[in-house]
Amino acid sequence: MTEPRPTIETVAARAGVGRGTASRVVNGSSQVSPAARAAVLKAIDELGYVPNRAARNLVTRRTDCVALVISEPGERLFTEPYFAGVVRGISSAMAQTQLQLWLSMVQSETERERAGRFLTREHVDGVLMLSQHADDPLPAQVRAGGLPLVLCGRPLTGPDNRPVGDIPFVDADNATGGRQAAQYLVDQGRQRVACIAGPQDMSAGVARLLGFRQVIGEDLVEYGDFSEESGAKAMVALLDRAPGLDAVFAASDPMAFGAMRVLKAAGRRIPEDVAVIGFDGSPGGRHSDPPLTSVFQPTEEMGREMTRLLLAQLSGDQPAETQVIVETRLELRGSA
């Protein structure tokens, strides 16, 4: 005789919790203690419980799917540590739920239009967005459609200095990180300090340059797009403008790696002739030559916090804060 299919009540009994608690774990609510969540997930695994999603979805109008939209080309996701860290954080937090994660790389106008048509309640329950630019229409479009949304990165501010649309977001303290890097270089006695800034249609690029300028009066700045090649190109331009520069703050580790490559090719010793500081605190910086001094931002924590804010919206909870800023710190290595 076939054993009866386990129910949510069976799971609750095995886990030693109430039916409501077990249901909240299955539905991805953040209002469950870690111990209760672990007990329920263990019971689900032991019993082989599979929620009757089709029946439940007819009632709840839930898809049990969350979209992660990254507005960059796919190769950057797999080569740049910032993206990998945030995605790892999101994945680890999502693994504690029964939700599925759908990934979309959006770069062209056609891809944005396609994503816009897909990002509706018929397909997903909520959206996480990473690396959005000022001209990206998707955040406002998703918000207008009523879908829960969380951004990685502070939205660029409007005329009244409020985040556009008051969309929940998680971000690093980018301005403080820029100040930390610039102040350290000044304290080390560097006289001509340059900056390779990030794109100014992204809040991280704006804030890191702002922090730098709050310390360094000289406007020796070139711009990149956070990629290694853009950092190399900017470094060439800076050496043409100021051959005597003795320090560079690059607003991402990949741009710092590109800058170091150009400096070495030009015969400049690092850090004796030119000190270099990046921004990310990526693992690759520990193995560069010399190891890269960098402003560390906790990308995995940022991904987990994004997921927490979204799960709260999905479960109807009201988090105490919808704008989360995580701290940065300067990690000293051999390049500065």
Q: How is residue 317 written in tokens? A: 């909870």
Judge if 8-51 and 174-298 fold alike in CATH terms.
no
CATH topology (fold) of 8-51: 434 Repressor (Amino-terminal Domain) (1.10.260)
**Across 73-77, 254-258, 313-317, which has the greatest mean pLDDT?**
254-258
CATH of domain 65-172+299-326: 3.40.50.2300
Q: For the chain, how many helices (H) and strands (E)?
A: 13, 12
Euclidean distance between CA atoms 118 and 95, whole angstroms: 23
Euclidean distance between CA atoms 94 and 285, whole angstroms: 28
Q: What is the CA radius of gyration of the chain?
A: 23
Per domain, the residue ranges of the chain are 8-51, 65-172+299-326, 174-298
Euclidean distance between CA atoms 69 and 284, whole angstroms: 25
pLDDT band of residue 318 (cuts 50, 70, 90) is low
Euclidean distance between CA atoms 266 and 146, whole angstroms: 54
Mean pLDDT to the nearest integer, 305-318: 85
Rounded to 5 degrees, what are φ and ψ at 172? -80, 160
Residue-wise pLDDT tens digits, 259-280:
999 999 999 999 999 999 999 9
Q: Is the pLDDT of residue 66 over 80?
A: yes
Mean pLDDT to the nearest integer, 236-246: 96
| DSSP secondary structure letter of residue 325 | E
Euclidean distance between CA atoms 196 and 208, whole angstroms: 10
Class of domain 174-298 as given by CATH: alpha beta
Residue-wise pLDDT tens digits, 177-232:
999 999 999 999 999 999 999 999 999 999 999 999 999 987 899 999 999 999 99
Residue-wise pLDDT tens digits, 88-116:
999 999 988 888 888 888 877 788 888 78
Give the pairing type, strands 221-223 and 193-197: parallel
